[in-house]
Structure 1
Amino acid sequence: MGAACACWVVAGTVLLLSSYGFGGKELAAPQATLMKTIIEGVLSGELPWGLVATGAGISGAAMLCGVSGLAFAIGVYLPIASMLPIFLGGCVRALSERGRPAEGEARSGILAAAGVVAGEGLAGVLVAGLVVSGLVPKKAPPLLGGELGELATLALVLAICFFLYRGARASA
């Protein structure tokens, strides 16, 4: 029952996002585009295997040099705008773990970070639903424009970083 419901919810969400422009210039989806390219290449028999082997070799070499395979792969195929939040999260984690003795794998902040990621995804689906239903225009001027908007955004990002830092330090 759960799998059947999840199947229909996912299908409806994909249809909703497709009508909103999912995977286009305005709503880029690099992970989905990558998977689509791979699947279409395999099914049509036209996947550039030379490039796949080259990527696997470069990733293997990076891992042999001590670089995390996941971090390397994210750095290669995601745009910088998508990597900036990951970088900021890593900086907050490094600051929160400064001065602490190493105790295996740290788990502080993982639940909060997962909640932020899930909330962002759900908010995106909600906005797409509002746009498709005609309740909200697809393009609207920002509520706070110019330097005031930039300062408000910076203040919000710093507040979230502080919240995550404080939560990680409190759980120690």
Structure 2
Amino acid sequence: MYTSAALNDSQVIALLDTGSSITLVSEAVARKIQAALVRSTIAKGVTANGTPINLLGQFTPNLTIGYQTIQIQLLGRYQDCFVGNDGDLGRYQEPITHCINVAPHSKVPKQHRAPSEKRQEIERQIKEMPCINIIEPNTSKFASPIVLVKKGSNKDQWRFTVDYRQINAITETET
């Protein structure tokens, strides 16, 4: 999702990708926001479409989206809440109760079978997720389709995503 943001008080258009392990800015943007670059141990990278890029360094800016300002380094301080470099997912320790209200007489969205070449990977990831407290048993008759997407940084790995469009279409919103 592209959004208007302020990096070090300079307006930029930013692509928010919660599945990405790093965020990239162009050299021009780094100059515009007067980023204090620290040499990175990683000198080269590859974009999602496979284009090689040179990495000049890393920095910790103040990021403002809407009215909320955060320091990116906050993610490093509380990394147990996020996916770490080792791929281990952080865990929120408190109980969470969640309820989605759907419109009366809503029909259960039709499910589609995953292609056979992806089915094994889906089953592997679903089997692993309860062990690391990512998912738990559910008795709802509603479900959303799983979509596996090749990771841009490693074409041998799959990113597990869920297409919520059908359930969102029948969900009652708060007024």
* TM-score, normalised with respect to structure 2: 0.21
Give 1 or 2: higher helix fraction.
Answer: 1
**TM-score, normalisation: structure 1:** 0.21
Structure with larger RCO (C-alpha < 8 A, sep 6+): 1
